[in-house]
Structure 1
Amino acid sequence: MTGLDAALAAVREALLARARAEADHVRERAGADARQEVAGARAEADRIRRSARAEGTAGAATANAIARGQAARQARALVLAERREAYERLRRAAREAVARIGTEPGVREQLVLAVRAALGPDARIVDTPDGGVRGVTGDRRLDLSLTGFADRAVDAVLGQEPEAVGASGTEEQR
């Protein structure tokens, strides 16, 4: 275990545990919401199909195909929107959890020690607005901002599955 790993182990474990619990909760809720939306869209598509059959017109088959396509697109859009919302809720929850950890005594000092362990004793330390730090030495940088921790933890928990989470926003240098 390196000096950086040792200095951040407690923070990383607490953050990952909270992020995993929140991810499980958000996934369950998003899945239930998505299933409900898909069921509604299917019911609407079934209603449209029944209506088209009852009319018995020559264009019913075309209208039915169009309606099914529209219903499928609407259902997909709803599922993707729900996933994105769940992802954003998880990211906010992770950032809030890390912000609480950042107020605990000694956290900033541990982060500074971690930067120095990784980049050397001459590293320039810059405080971040969220309570973390960034280290710079020559062309090497280390982002130990609390927001960065939260974002990386969420990405790690979700495995960066683009379809499952949507676009992840900005990628910060680690």
Structure 2
Amino acid sequence: MNRLDPVLAPVRAALLARAREEADQIRERSEVDARDAVTAATMEADHIRQHAHAEGEAHAATAVAAARSQAREQARALVLGARREAYERLRDAARRAVARMGAEPEFAPIRQRMVAAVRATLGPDAQITDVPDGGVAGAADGRRLDLSLTGFADRAVQAVAGREAETGPPATADRRTPREERP
């Protein structure tokens, strides 16, 4: 068990709850968009097939195969684009939510626990810096620990996206976790 877990549990729980709620809404919209795209592509493929059939069976088979392949490729591109857009919207919403959270008066005790976690990890002489969108970062002896709210939001969205998507989070997702870094 990580020493930071009890300190950061309230932040993690709030971020995950908000991220799951946003993910559900975005996923529903994305699924509707994807179904519409597949329906339109199927209708277009059927239209092409009917036209090709009038020109002859041999020619129709080739045209249908090509049209279906193209329709599948277009539908897949639309689905992937919708997933990526949903991921980006969810990440942006989570970042806005935690930025608001960092400005609330109730955040002060959480910030104090973050400072304590940095000092427990890096030592009592760690230099503590407030992060603009909320949270803190610490540095000591060439080591650094980032406990920014934006970082927590990004990791929460990645966790939700990883569980929700069939293929995992988008390929460009940053999979960082709170940790010490050495330059």
Letter paired with 1:166? P
Preserved CA contact (<8 Å) 1:18 1:94: yes
Counterparts in 2 of 1:102 and 1:51: CA distance versus 1, 3 Å = same
Shift of 1:10: 1.7
Alignment correspondent of 2:65: 65
Alignment correspondent of 1:166: 170
Taking structure 2 as the reference length, the TM-score comes to 0.84
User: What RMSD over aligned residues (CA atoms) do the two structures have, in Å?
Assistant: 2.2
Taking structure 1 as the reference length, the TM-score comes to 0.88
Alignment correspondent of 1:55: 55
Letter paired with 1:127? D
Does residue 37 of structure 1 match 2:41?
A: no
Equivalences, count: 174
Shift of 1:58: 4.3
Preserved CA contact (<8 Å) 1:15 1:94: yes
Equivalent positions of 1:66-81 (< 5 A) are 66-81=66-81
Point out 4+ residue stretches in structure 1 off by more than 6 angstroms.
Answer: none
Q: Which runs of 5+ in 2 are unaligned?
A: 179-183
Letter paired with 1:46? D
Quick one: distance in 2 between partners of 1:164 and 1:39? 25
- Secondary structure of 2:4's counterpart equals helix
- Secondary structure of 1:130's counterpart equals coil
Does residue 131 of structure 1 match 2:131?
A: no
2:111 paired residue among 108, 113, 119: 108
Quick one: distance in 2 between partners of 1:139 and 1:23? 37
Preserved CA contact (<8 Å) 2:158 2:169: no
Quick one: distance in 2 between partners of 1:6 and 1:108? 14
